[in-house]
């Protein structure tokens, strides 16, 4: 199974940049999308069906043009879970999960900490999400959580670790949380296969950051430990340019 995760920073904008043509070439079995910034009523859903994804599920923020996640699949899932059941999370449309016979796949969009209030919100979200996942794993041990975590884990994951150490996304407490999240039963699938530096999934639109590869690795495919022996490949697709993020891939048997 080939799984892609992609923060598209607005699905309608991405469509105008050739997203569907790219999707057909990439040809994943399942793609998880973050920051659709759209309600499905604002989209021509037949475009995704014609591209080979008859099963598509959208979970949008109450506020239009904000946040929101989706999953497109070639395979019909047994069950779709919209949100987490935690109201303040679900108001912003940040979690959707599809359950297949032997694996469940989540699209996650963790908040960013753009100011003090949002940083407090982010830490509350991370704490409650960890508890939610702890309970979920008891029922669904074969779990893949892909998406934009809005955190760089290690110095290797950011272009200027010393200069950005006091910036949200690379704060010590954020890095500690994602490290503990991994230690609590997950594999950072990209780092499982790749230990090279300069491998990023997001670049600022400012100062020609992408062309200079001044980036951050904010997007992860976290694979639960029981799936370790089924991991085949994990890569970052930096050549895809429909967003300020790029897609990531994980493949499992």
Question: pLDDT at residue 2 above 90?
Answer: yes
pLDDT for the residue numbered 108: 98
Annotated catalytic residue, options 87, 102, 148, 219: 148
**Hunting for tokens 């899932």 — which residue is that?**
77
Distances (CA, A) of 222 to 22, 95, 177, 179, 191: 24, 14, 14, 12, 10
pLDDT for the residue numbered 125: 97
Provide mean pLDDT across the span 184-209. 97
DSSP letter at 101 equals S
Tell me which residue of 135, 78, 85, 68 sits closest to 104, measured CA to CA.
78
Answer yes or no: pTM beyond 0.85: yes
Torsion of CA 186, 192, 196, 201, to 10 degrees: -50
Question: pLDDT at residue 215 above 90?
Answer: yes
Question: pLDDT at residue 126 above 90?
Answer: yes
Domains of the chain, CATH where assigned: 2-252 (3.60.10.10)
Provide mean pLDDT across the span 67-90. 97
10 Å Cβ neighbour count for 87?
8
157 given a catalytic annotation: no
The DSSP code sequence of 177-230 is HHHHHHHTTEEEHHHHH---SS--SEE-SSTTTTTTT-EE--EEEEEEGGGGGG
SS3 88: helix
Q: What DSSP element (H or E) covers 71? A: strand 69-73
Provide mean pLDDT across the span 101-112. 97
**Hunting for tokens 């994951």 — which residue is that?**
157
Provide mean pLDDT across the span 163-177. 97
User: Which residues touch 51 (CB under 8 Å, ≥6 apart)?
Assistant: 20, 23, 24
**Hunting for tokens 């930096």 — which residue is that?**
238
Q: How far apart are CA 93 and CA 82, in angstroms?
A: 9
| Contact (CB, 8 A) for 109 and 58 | no
pLDDT for the residue numbered 91: 96
Question: pLDDT at residue 166 above 90?
Answer: yes
pLDDT for the residue numbered 114: 87
Provide mean pLDDT across the span 137-154. 98
For residue 179 the two structure tokens come to 């490290």
Query: pLDDT tens digits for 3-59?
Result: 999 999 999 999 999 999 999 999 999 999 999 999 999 999 999 999 999 999 999
The DSSP code sequence of 122-146 is HHHHHHHHHHHHHHHHHH--SEEEE
Mean pLDDT of the chain: 97
């Amino acid at each position: 199974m080939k799984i892609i995760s992609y923060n598209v920073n607005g699905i309608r904008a991405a469509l105008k940049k050739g997203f569907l043509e790219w999707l057909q070439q990439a040809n994943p079995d399942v793609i998880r999308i973050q920051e659709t910034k759209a309600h499905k009523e604002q989209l021509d859903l037949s475009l995704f069906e014609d591209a080979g994804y008859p099963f598509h599920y959208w979970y949008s923020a109450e506020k239009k043009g904000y946040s929101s996640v989706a999953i497109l699949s070639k395979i019909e899932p047994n069950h779709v879970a919209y949100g987490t059941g935690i109201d303040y999370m679900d108001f912003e449309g940040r979690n959707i999960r599809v359950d297949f016979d032997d694996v469940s796949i989540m699209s996650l969009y963790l908040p960013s900490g753009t100011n003090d209030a949002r940083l407090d919100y982010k830490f509350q979200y991370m704490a409650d999400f960890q508890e939610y996942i702890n309970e979920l794993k008891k029922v669904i041990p074969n779990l893949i959580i892909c998406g934009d975590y809005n955190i760089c884990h290690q110095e290797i994951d950011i272009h200027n670790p010393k200069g950005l150490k006091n910036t949200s996304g690379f704060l010590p407490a954020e890095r500690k949380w994602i490290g503990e999240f991994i230690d609590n039963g997950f594999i950072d699938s990209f780092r499982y296969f790749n230990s090279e530096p300069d491998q990023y999934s997001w670049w600022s639109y400012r100062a020609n950051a992408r062309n200079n590869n001044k980036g951050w690795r904010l997007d992860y495919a976290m694979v639960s430990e029981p799936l370790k022996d089924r991991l085949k490949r994990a890569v970052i697709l930096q050549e895809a340019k429909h967003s300020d993020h790029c897609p990531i891939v994980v493949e499992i048997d």
